[in-house]
A and B are shown apart, each in its own frame.
Chain A
Amino acid sequence: MAKLPVSVDKLIQDFGPHKNYTPKDGFEGTHEPDKLVKTHCCFCGMQCGIQLKVKDNTIAGFEPWMEFPFNEGRLCPKGVQRYLQNNHPDRIMEPLQRVEGKGFEPIDWDTAMGRTVDEIKRIQGKYGNDAFAMLSGVSLTNEKSYMIGKFARVALKTANLDYNGRLCMVSAGAGNKKAFGLDRISNSWADLKHAEVIIIAGTNVSETFPTLTHYIWQARDNGAKLIVVDPRVTPIARTADLHLPVKPGTDSALFGAILKILVDNDWLDHDFIENHTSGFDQAIDAVKDFDLDWAEAKTGVPQEKIMQAATMWGKAKTSFLLHARGIEHHTKGVDNVLSCINIVLATGRIGKPYCGYGTITGQGNGQGGREHGHKCDQLPGNRDITNPEHRKYIADVWGIEESEMPGKGLSAYELVEAIHRGEVKGLITICFNPLVSLPNNNFVREALEKLEYFVAIDFFLNETARHADVILASSLHEEEEGTVTTAEGRVVKINAAITPPNNARRDGEIIMDLAKRLGAGDKFNYENSEAIFNELRVASKGGTADYFGITYEKIEKNMGVFWPCPSEDHPGTPRLWEDKKFRTPDGKAHFNPVPWKESSEVVDKEYPVVLTTGRVVSQYLSGTQTRRIGKLVDQYPEPLLEIHPKLAYHYGIKERELVKVVTRRGEAEFPAQLVETIREDTVFIPYHWGGKQSANQLTIGTLDPISKIPEFKVCACKLVPTKKWAGPANESPAYQSF
């Protein structure tokens, strides 16, 4: 049933994306708002503080929040424009249902919820509980993440719950758990400012975490050397002390080679290795053949540069290593992460002032969201759903029998595959747009079309929701109170500025109502967000991600609290591992051997060019929110194919010529942008768009065996120039994803 009810053009006409702009004199009340509400940006893991101007229950603008310690008023373009989601013509204000040949028509809440519950019961009755799945997202607050984890297991009684964090930092999470037994960046950003050497690998900080740039610049003002590992010269790489233009998919070779150099030159912290780690010998054994010639051949980085990087890292007294999706979106994402951790552990620079390591979490609540339960294999407090003790503890908190709790379910992409195979028949989504964000999305579309019932909880009709049977009109970030955990592990407070307009409802209310109708109302009797948080505190108690000592009051008073925070008198933990007591079973940090492995698809004669994907500064993830904000769309209106002039010359490709990019999964045309700032063997396409200009039609759906993250960052393609020229960029309809 889940095919589009009418043409995509008609859906776009009715539900957008349309570009929203601020009126010339600002929204009503911008000069004299009723109040300023201190909250955070809804985009990215930095969670910059911002104040929203409220007038007559709408957002009239923003005012920088100078006192919030992380960003002190600083914002990126998305943050500045975030308020335009409010007052948006595309906003879904009441529940909708799919009507064949017509599109979507408003219905009342009772009908929408009643039909959903009937379908859940019908499908689960016919095919089993796990045939109804849920996909969630980590732009949601901790409270909602927790509640969804509980909802899926207690009310929906399905094992198949997963989330879009699966496309985010799960490789880092898995790697961190293997090495440290805990999944969080080791230090707060404050330590970054004084590190002597900073390596940032596969993270386009300046475009994806712009406000973190200031910390790196401050470190450089204090004398830090910056090493950037990236196939492209990103803005942060441009002035770096050392840029290593690594070939996509070869990060572990690079870090393995660096580890070997550290060992060969004895730039090691023997005391730390001996007393606080395990597995060192196996780890160095795995890289014993990673000499410079080999590394240069694999990574494409000149060996002098590799040597230089290793020397800088090896001789430093303090350091910080950061990575993000660039090394994590691989079938060996966990390996890449472990190869980074190995060089951190080898030099013993962790758990000390100005010595840190971590992933830069991408999504708004990528950190908190992945700790409290909407991951298929996990329970609150970063507990393991397969661990009987963990299950028992959470079952008690939830007031159910441990035996009633479903086991480990399928991960996000595996779930889509199961839908495609016909094993999963019903789906509920919230805060996830898989049709744009998952790889090989033609396959994803086929899967969606096979669903017997699909209900989407959303505030805009995104590309995936266009396939839904029922849409439940939900709330924007500024319409519900809660907490999020930033990329540095700081739990901060999201304050509700307004109430949802018209007939839209808060996400939390929708979930609670559904739970009630599914017969689990007694388990979802929360008076407010704080009540959910208080239950979460108990649920996380004793887990690695321990929030027990964090209260709303404490967060507001201290402008955030760093977990772990096991008791109310505990100040929180900005810097981990000062006691060298790692959370692994043996209490030690673990080296892990990372032998060389190829990516799942390598270039060959037929598909000779490496394709990698990523982001631009003006867009956020699948663009559900940002492709509706006029100025953000105008800044970078359409996805471009970044290609080196030499490679372009080889194919006779000219500037702004439409180039057909073909992979084994699909093909799409993009205007060429000839730039010397990319490797000669690699092309880059940003992924924020859907429809005909979606880069994820081309990417590959192979997964990391441990983290189940798809390999977005590398696949093989061929380029076919079309001799057609792209029209003016500002007239491109790409943002609408038709």
Chain B
Amino acid sequence: MDNGTRPAGQLDIATALSPYSGPWDVRMASHLMRRAGFGGTPQQVQQLSHMPMHEAVESLIHFPSTAGLPDPDNVFDPYQQGLIGAGMAGVSRVAQGIGLFGPGVGGARPIGMIDPQARQERAKELRQDARQSIISLQAWWLTRMVASPAPLQEKMTLLWHGHFTSAAIQKQAWPSDMYRQNQLFRQYALGNVRDLTQAVSKDVAMLKYLDGERNVKAHPNENYARELMELFTLGIGNYSEQDIRESARAFSGWTVDRRTGEFVDNQSQHDDGSKTFLGRTGNFTGTDIVNIIFQQPAASKFFAKFLLNNFVYNDPEPELVDAVAANIVRNDFNLAPVVSKLLQSNVFYSERSYRALVKSPVEFVVGTHQLFGLKDLAPNAQRALVQMGQILFYPPNVAGWPGGSTWITSQTLIARENFLAALMNMPMMQQTWLGEVPMNARAATAQMVSAILQSDISPASQARLQDYLNGAGTSALGMLSAENYEERVRGAAYLAMAMPAYQLS
């Protein structure tokens, strides 16, 4: 969101993007880890703080191998499972009968299962399977975000998911389609964003979500063309309604093969006539359209804003946007060097940028796992994310999650804090570093506010936490016992995380 969220104070544009040479400590390393990842474990932050700043950034930009991370189990794929497509039989009829797989799915040879009731039952099961599969896929991805040695790769994957949005199931985007799109975002994480946009334009989940698969010569469907320019690459005001109509024609014929579920360029449905798009005329294809879009000055500015809004602060000054946009153009839309420069810059480490962003629910939940070194997803994490307003693979609409202050409502804050309260009530927390803090309230409080809040707390509040830990006139949280020091430690950790600073990145 753009309004009123720019930090106070003045931008020094002359030095904004120059390399930062100020103090480099745990607080700054933690800032870097929150932005270029999800916060990291206290050990990871320590490690980064012991490296020179530029090496710390480079270690995040050059992704280490993630080969050791597991693939998801059994992603629901109706094509693989023979429920749909060329070799399908039997249950395919079921799916069609209730419109589960859309109209006119090719190659159906209905056999068996004539009983309509049995058919309905099976269709319900299939839908249930698809939903279950998405829930498993969410758990897999969240676990990967927590554990990946390449946090910035996962961060970019998440940002692209909120940017080039598609949602599961509602338009027959199957879990397998969503997984492939997710892998695409991971593959292009800090790669060339023009190439990513080309790939997204042919991505099956996207073709389904924004109706590209229905875009045929005789009846161009404008949905993808519009959102491509409005939300994905240029922003409103940089194209006309006519440009939308013409580019929709150029994308016609890019569809999903109903027998295989794969992308296909169906020439017979492509309008190969002349189009006039953003002032140029030719027999353009979808590829040409994307290339022309990326020749517009608005495109580099658009992605400059995207990077600044997600990594530095919201509502960046136009001169800062221009400077980053110039860098994007110099690097021909390869983002790794652009992001590297940004994460090493004065403006990134300035007090104006510090805690100037609101953590998204996923950042909040994944970051909390990392803070305590939890490897397995907490049992309440996924349910809590629903209540916090961020459900992976189900963005609210094509604009993605609006973010910023919209993350913070009474309802979502209560969900955040109840997630923490429930987590701190779990005995497994005793196995984390919380179980090893000194039996001395002063030292324990100092350790906790350093790890949890990077000491972004007033002396008065720190004293209050220490009183709490001492059991002076207080008792512990919820079902934790006030008599038990270890449990008071977990109550104090909850209270530290309930502070507004912990909601901010």
Co-assembled chains A and B: no
